[in-house]
Amino acid sequence: MSEALLRVDNISVRYGLARAVDELSIHVSEGEAVFVVGPNGAGKTTLLRTISGLVTPVSGEIWLGSVALKGRKPWDIVTAGVSHVPQNRRCFGPLSVEENLLMGGYGRGKAERSAALTSVYDVFPALAEKRKQKAQELSGGQQQMVAIGRALMGNAKLIMLDEPSLGLAPALVDNLGRTLRRVRDELGTAVLLVEQNVQLAFSVGTRGYMLRTGRLIGEGGPEDLRGELRRGYLGAKDNASPAAPSSPSA
């Protein structure tokens, strides 16, 4: 196992008196894909927003290598090497595919952005064909490609994805899984994937974490967690593959 790239140590997050995350610790190694699963309200989205600097924890520490992330501004965290792909893609609709991608490389030199763009088009050849088309004219699956490609343009060491399968047809979810495995294996970029589609999460991550009401209740590889999921944790029957609802999580 490579050394830890991201370390989240005992963070707690409150929204007023409500506990969103409670003394949670996770880690992601360099080049590793890790999933986070759990029902609505488990704290999954809050975890990503806290790592990104959009939410400030009341306690705990967050490290990217030797760089402390807690208390840094979101744009400084992006510069440090963490890119966040939020729910619902958030593409710039009136801009072209290529303009959206180049926005992700803001602050990099022209040569670096050009090389990064070539790399993204290699991973997403469909985007190369539509580079001049407006993002708002693309399908949901294509917009998700743009969102992930934009994250990769920033020379990210780690990309975090929040429910990327939300609203996608099953065939597009399968394609998304293949894409994330390419990001992990060919680009060597670490992936932290929050998903309620358990099959997708298990196909991408080699290990993961299970949350409930802001607390860690399980961790390990897909087979380690599959049993508890099948016993009804997400409502699946024992003889069924664990499939989760597609509604957004907290």
**How would residue 245 be classed by pLDDT, with cut points 50, 70 and 90?**
very low
Task: Give residue 159's pLDDT.
Answer: 95
Distances (CA, A) of 137 to 39, 87, 132, 143: 32, 18, 11, 9
3-state secondary structure of 159: strand
Task: Give residue 60's pLDDT.
Answer: 97
Q: Average the pLDDT over 9-31 and give the result.
A: 94
Residue 167: how many CB atoms within 10 A of its CB?
15
Task: Give residue 106's pLDDT.
Answer: 78
Q: What does pLDDT average to over the chain? A: 87
The answer on pLDDT for 3 being more than 80 is no
Least trusted range by pLDDT, from 68-72, 98-102, 144-148, 224-228: 224-228
Q: What is the pLDDT of residues 102-146, one digit of tens each?
A: 988 877 878 888 888 998 998 888 899 999 999 889 888 888 889
Task: Give residue 231's pLDDT.
Answer: 56
The answer on pLDDT for 46 being more than 60 is yes
Q: What is the pLDDT of residues 162-195, one digit of tens each?
A: 999 888 888 889 989 998 998 999 888 999 999 9
Express as a percent the part of the chain with pLDDT over 90. 52
**How would residue 1 be classed by pLDDT, with cut points 50, 70 and 90?**
very low
Task: Give residue 233's pLDDT.
Answer: 54
Nearest alpha carbon to residue 159 among 83, 103, 74, 80: 83
CATH of segment(s) 4-85+154-233: 3.40.50.300
* Residue partners of 46: CB distance under 8 A and separation at least 6: 13, 20, 21, 55, 214, 250
The answer on pLDDT for 66 being more than 70 is yes
The answer on pLDDT for 249 being more than 90 is no
Q: What is the pLDDT of residues 187-216, one digit of tens each?
A: 889 999 999 899 999 999 999 999 989 999
- Kindly state the DSSP code that residue 220 receives in the 8-state scheme: E
Distances (CA, A) of 37 to 20, 115, 218, 246: 15, 34, 10, 12
Rounded distance, CA 211 to CA 35, Å? 11
| Three-class HEC string of 4-68 | EEEEEEEEEEEECCEEEEEEEEEEEECCCEEEEECCCCCCHHHHHHHHCCCCCCCEEEEEECCEE
Least trusted range by pLDDT, from 51-55, 76-80, 115-119, 166-170: 166-170
